[in-house]
Amino acid sequence: MEHDPALTDRLRDDLTASGFAVAGVEEVLGAVAADALHREEPVPALRATEGSDDPVAVLVRAFLLGEPVSARRLQAALPSLGIPGATRLGLVRSDGDQVRALVDLRPYAAVDGGGEVNWWIASDLGELATGNALRTDHVLGVGGASTTLAQVTIRDERRMVLDLGTGCGIQALHASRHSRRVVGTDISARALEFARFNALLAGVRLELRAGSMLEPVADERFDLVVSNPPFVITPRTPGMPSYEYRDGGRSGDAIVRELVEGVGSVLAPGGVAQLLGNWEVRRGEQWHERVGSWLDASGLDGWVVQRELQDPAQYAETWIRDGGTTPDRDRAAWASRYGSWLDDFASRDVEAIGFGFLTLRRPLAGAPSLRRLEEATGTVRQPLGPVIAASLGAHDWLEVHDDDGLLAAHLVVAPDVTEERYLTPGESDPQVVLLRQGGGFGRAVQAGTALAGFVGACDGDLSVGQIVNALGALLDVGADAVAADILPSARGLVRDGLLVPSS
Ligand SMILES: C[S@@+](CC[C@H](N)C(=O)[O-])C[C@H]1O[C@@H](n2cnc3c(N)ncnc32)[C@H](O)[C@@H]1O
């Protein structure tokens, strides 16, 4: 792609004037065609845009659907850039009076810590547009994993951010909104070209460097590292395609282990790394033992959330399809790749593959104090970034509040917490009381009589100790028994944001 600031300015002006935004595209397509397109099914979108002079429809046909469009229509949709300008930028090529897109270019909208963003992101055309299996150096656009990482990222002000494996640059673009400098790295020169183009189009300054893993930044320190790395576990069988965007070239889950164990070397004290990853669950071993051993080797605070677990067959199907091989297209290749995947997993006794996100932090001083590995496979309320930041803060608060400190503290119930009581019909006392978090991880915590009474009294007026004393008298068991019962749970509720220190 060509990086020409003047032409890119014209492109931005044209895309803005034409209304080529997420809402504009959905309006032109309608909900049904937009949903079908999200499922990689183009037929309704092709029908919705056919024969239309609407600039958004023309741009959708060209850049999302990979259809040839008439030069007249595209010229009208990009009047100041024009087809010669779009050709020079490497966006299109002409074929008689038809023009074809060479790249995928689509609007992107999100809300992050700094408010709403509206960008356009260029990447390689996907399978839907080309009708072909992906090239092994395919540069991915913004996908589900990209969005997940962007939403779990803590958006506090930072000085230096690293986006490792920047691809089209989406994480780096978000990072630019809350940091002074952003370095994006990638092993793929083509990916860096796209990232440079997207940054120019967004009017954002990024430092982009070629190289593998931490090598391009080995001597630097970052306050935040984000990475959606090429974590897909791929058999090292001869002839198996290796896609740069998803395959780090290692055996099994070694790439994620390498990153978890090594990222501390580029983190400034207090610096945070947020990563996505897959990990193998091997026979006789719990997932958290394996990933926990990586945390131990990292020397960092660590919090791992496993969001999904797939069996080897599901995993193989997902990733063989993702590369464009299907049983309909090529049954022999499908069967042979499927077999290689199963053999590869069997060779290491892999029974399942976990997916999740990791938050690592270099302690300001001393040894790590946070080691948490949990499953959260239900619905979460994104963005989780602020929730993760608050939980790290709560962890630090708890570290400096022993039980005496906690008893002296005042806590309030977070506004999104509700209490659910389950009663046997006719009974007046609930059998089960649940404290339910409305936001974030949507946690539900079962509370006994003392804990439910305690949380109910946490309005910030009385200290924890005063509430414990009152409950000890009320329940006739003494304050010490109540403290022993509820303080560990109260710590958990503070850590997870259901209770918040008010002093
Ligand atoms: C899953 S994509 C993520 C792209 C983008 N950051 C996002 O969130 O959508 C992984 C990226 O890592 C890059 N990559 C692959 N191997 C790498 C390596 N050894 N070192 C650095 N980057 C690598 C790929 O080229 C690709 O751009």
Q: Does residue 213 line the site of ligand 1, with CB under 6 A?
A: yes
User: Residue 131 is encoded by which pair of tokens?
Assistant: 């009708």
Q: Does residue 212 line the site of ligand 1, with CB under 6 A?
A: yes
Give the 3-state secondary structure of residue 150. helix
Give the distance (Å) from ligand 1 centre to CA of residue 23: 29
Where exactly are the structural domains of the chain? 5-102, 126-378, 401-501
- What topology does CATH give the domain 401-501? Outer Surface Protein A; domain 3 (3.90.930)
**Are the beta carbons of 117 and 109 closer than 8 angstroms?**
yes
Residue type, 48: A
pLDDT, tens digit, 9 for 90 and up, residues 353-395: 999 999 999 999 999 999 999 999 999 999 999 999 999 999 9
Band of pLDDT at residue 132, cut at 50, 70 and 90: confident
pLDDT, tens digit, 9 for 90 and up, residues 166-190: 999 999 999 999 999 999 999 999 9
pTM of the model: 0.96
List of residues 6+ apart from 343 with CB closer than 8 A: 235, 237
Tell me: pLDDT of 28 over 90.
Answer: yes
Ligand 1 nearest atom to the CA of residue 167, by list position: 27
Report which protein residue has its CA nearest ligand 1's atom 9: 146
| Averaged pLDDT of the chain | 97
CA distance 1 to 193: 6
Give the distance (Å) from ligand 1 centre to CA of residue 165: 3
Most informative mutation of 123, 140, 161 for ligand 1 (most atoms within 8 A of CB): 140
- Long-range contacts: 459-464, Cβ < 8 Å, 24+? 459/412, 459/413, 460/410, 460/411, 460/412, 460/502, 460/503, 461/410, 462/410, 463/407, 463/408, 463/409, 463/410, 464/406, 464/407, 464/408, 464/409, 464/410, 464/411, 464/490
pLDDT, tens digit, 9 for 90 and up, residues 256-289: 999 999 999 999 999 999 999 999 999 999 999 9
Q: What percent of the chain has pLDDT over 70?
A: 100
Tell me: pLDDT of 20 over 80.
Answer: yes
pLDDT of residue 117: 96
Report which protein residue has its CA nearest ligand 1's atom 6: 166
Give the distance (Å) from ligand 1 centre to CA of residue 155: 21
pLDDT, tens digit, 9 for 90 and up, residues 95-128: 999 999 999 999 999 999 889 999 999 999 999 9
- What topology does CATH give the domain 126-378? Rossmann fold (3.40.50)
Most informative mutation of 234, 244, 255, 259 for ligand 1 (most atoms within 8 A of CB): 244
Ligand 1 nearest atom to the CA of residue 139, by list position: 27
Tell me: pLDDT of 324 over 90.
Answer: no
pLDDT of residue 503: 63
Q: What percent of the chain has pLDDT over 90?
A: 95
Report which protein residue has its CA nearest ligand 1's atom 8: 146
CA distance 154 to 149: 10
User: Residue 208 is encoded by which pair of tokens?
Assistant: 């982009």
pLDDT, tens digit, 9 for 90 and up, residues 487-496: 999 999 999 9
